[in-house]
């Protein structure tokens, strides 16, 4: 179930959201909901990566890296 929310926006931001929502063919409400979801996802991702980084160590990284053979990449893997 969705909840209603009243949000005050500066006029310039309201205009930009309206313009972008029209270009995307969606309502302003849908645009704002999507933007909020993207922001939440971004913050959650940073939180996850910070927690994951705490478990890592340079020593473990170098140990794994030492198992990789020192050869040139194949033709299909070069940039």
Q: Measured between alpha carbons, how far is 54 from 62 in angstroms, rounded to an integer?
A: 16
Task: Give the HSE-up count for residue 4: Cα atoms under 13 Å, Cβ half-sphere.
Answer: 1
The parent domain of residue 15 ranges over 11-68
Residue 3 lies in a domain: no
Give the pLDDT of residue 23: 98
40-74 tens-digit pLDDT: 999 999 999 999 999 999 999 999 999 998 888 88
Residue 44 lies in a domain: yes
Residue 79 lies in a domain: no
Q: Smallest Cα–Cα separation from 36: which of 75, 5, 57?
A: 5
Helix (H) or strand (E) holding 66: none
22-42 tens-digit pLDDT: 999 999 999 999 999 999 999
Give the pLDDT of residue 8: 95
Residue 76 lies in a domain: no
Is the pLDDT assigned to residue 1 strictly greater than 80?
A: no
């Amino acid at each position: 179930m969705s909840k209603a929310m009243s949000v005050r926006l500066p006029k310039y931001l309201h205009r930009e959201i309206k313009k972008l929502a029209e270009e995307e063919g969606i309502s302003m409400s849908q645009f704002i909901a999507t933007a909020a979801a993207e922001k939440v996802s971004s913050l959650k991702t940073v939180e996850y990566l910070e927690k994951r980084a705490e478990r890592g160590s340079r020593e473990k990284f170098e140990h794994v890296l030492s198992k990789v053979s020192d050869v040139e990449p194949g033709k299909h893997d070069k940039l």
